[in-house]
């Protein structure tokens, strides 16, 4: 209908933008919740399907009837029980079905618009991947009819064969976290993945020569290529692109015009790592720790900082009192609750004390 529909992350309705009438409205009524669906895919039936992240259903938006509904499915995840971060993005397959890219899920989810159902397909990813969380995000339908998932934390590319209903990992290993997110399919069939934290573009080319090329206008942005044979890159290719473990690339960025920079440079060159003592005083750390615990106790009043017995359920049948994924991890809780703002002042101080003298920025 020429309108734009916003997939609800935390909202309880669908955002509708009408460019022709210059109007914005909402349709449908959904259950409350956070981070429910991540991205959407237009099916061959013209409906829009929202990919479940924390939601337990697939979202269906029918622009023709202006109706919103959901499709239930069975979900498997061996390493977490809260059902969060299931899938991140989806791809319309050549068979007209939509394939959800696993983030923390153990299986690929196949959404069938014609049948109005969603099922897990392929072999389980349990025991076959190096990382369980944030494995892939978004993907492409390639010219060979397969779907390729972009490695976020996984060290290999996801490959979904829709005909064989098989799920494999190809290429790599590509080291590091939060490597690529999103990309572009070129006219010649190569897929270019956009760097998130990685300093290199990933090129996936199921067919063709698979030769790594460096664009003339981006001489400082090398490419890691997954060749047509889908074999891992050579050790020299990985070494050139990533360094032994990353610290070699870091050396060229460190300013040696300060005492801190010279000390860090020498330590990295000699040992490959460095410990910075007394960046913050004990009193400053105590303030930040208190701020963190105050936030935890606000989210879950039953938890008491000075009583570790309150940090865990009293029995296996009791709900977990911890206000996040149940991993007993502060970092995971803050990511889940999107609470990085709590440490804004601390980040500014660390920037002044560490990053400015090290990198001159």
**pLDDT tens-digit readout, 129-187:** 878 888 999 999 988 889 999 999 898 999 999 988 999 998 888 888 888 988 898 88
What is the rounded distance in angstroms from the CA atom of residue 34 to the CA atom of residue 12? 10
Highest mean pLDDT among 11-15, 75-79, 308-312, 350-354: 11-15
Domain range spanning residue 139?
4-242
What is the rounded distance in angstroms from the CA atom of residue 317 to the CA atom of residue 303? 18
SS3 4: strand
Residues making up the chain, counted from first to last: 361
Q: Which long-range contacts (CB under 8 A, 24 or more apart) does 237-243 make?
A: 237/212, 238/173, 238/175, 241/200, 242/175, 242/176, 242/200
Give me the number of domains the chain comprises. 2
14: domain CATH number? 2.130.10.10
Q: Is residue 193 part of a domain?
A: yes
Q: Is residue 261 part of a domain?
A: no
Same domain as 350, residue 203 = no
Kindly state the tokens that stand for 236: 């020299």
Q: Is residue 137 part of a domain?
A: yes
Q: Is residue 344 part of a domain?
A: yes
Q: Is residue 226 part of a domain?
A: yes
The two beta strands, 223-226 and 201-204, are parallel
Q: In sequence order, which residues have a C-beta less than 8 Å from that of residue 222 and are 6 or more positions away?
A: 199, 200, 201, 212, 214, 240, 241
Same domain as 213, residue 79 = yes
Q: Is residue 225 part of a domain?
A: yes
Q: Is residue 254 part of a domain?
A: no
Sign of CA dihedral 207, 212, 216, 219: positive
Same domain as 286, residue 237 = no
What DSSP element (H or E) covers 136?
strand 136-141
pLDDT in tens, 181-195: 888 988 888 899 999
Same domain as 310, residue 196 = no
């Amino acid at each position: 209908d020429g309108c734009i529909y916003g997939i609800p992350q935390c909202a309880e309705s669908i955002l509708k933008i009408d460019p022709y009438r210059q109007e914005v409205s909402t349709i449908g009524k959904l259950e409350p919740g956070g981070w429910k669906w991540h991205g959407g895919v237009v099916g061959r039936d013209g409906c829009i399907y929202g990919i479940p992240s924390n939601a337990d259903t697939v979202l269906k938006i029918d622009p023709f009837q202006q109706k919103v509904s959901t499709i239930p499915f069975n979900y498997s995840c061996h390493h977490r029980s809260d059902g969060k971060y299931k899938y991140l993005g989806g791809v319309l397959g050549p068979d007209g079905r939509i394939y959800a890219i696993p983030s923390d899920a153990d299986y690929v989810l196949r959404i069938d618009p014609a049948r109005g159902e969603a099922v897990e397909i392929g072999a389980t990813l349990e025991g076959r991947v190096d990382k369980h969380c944030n494995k892939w995000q978004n993907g492409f339908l390639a010219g060979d009819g397969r779907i390729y998932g972009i490695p976020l934390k996984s060290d290999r590319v996801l490959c979904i064969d829709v005909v064989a209903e098989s799920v494999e990992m190809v290429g790599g290993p590509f080291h590091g976290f939060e490597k690529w997110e999103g990309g572009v399919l070129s006219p010649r069939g190569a897929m270019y993945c956009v760097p998130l934290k990685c300093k290199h573009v990933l090129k996936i080319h199921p067919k063709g020569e698979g030769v790594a090329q460096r664009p003339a206008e981006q001489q400082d942005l090398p490419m890691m290529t997954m060749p047509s044979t889908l074999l891992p890159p050579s050790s020299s290719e990985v070494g050139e692109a990533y360094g032994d473990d990353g610290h070699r690339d870091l050396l060229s960025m460190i300013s040696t015009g300060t005492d801190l920079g010279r000390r860090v440079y020498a330590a990295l060159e000699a040992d490959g790592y460095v410990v910075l003592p007394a960046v913050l005083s004990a009193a400053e750390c105590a303030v930040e720790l208190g701020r963190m615990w105050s936030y935890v106790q606000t989210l879950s009043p039953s938890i008491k900082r000075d009583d570790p017995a309150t940090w865990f359920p009293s029995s296996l049948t009791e709900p977990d009192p911890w206000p996040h994924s149940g991993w007993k991890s502060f970092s995971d809780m803050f990511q889940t609750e999107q609470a990085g703002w709590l440490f804004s002042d601390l980040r500014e101080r660390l920037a002044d004390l560490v990053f400015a003298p090290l990198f001159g920025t």
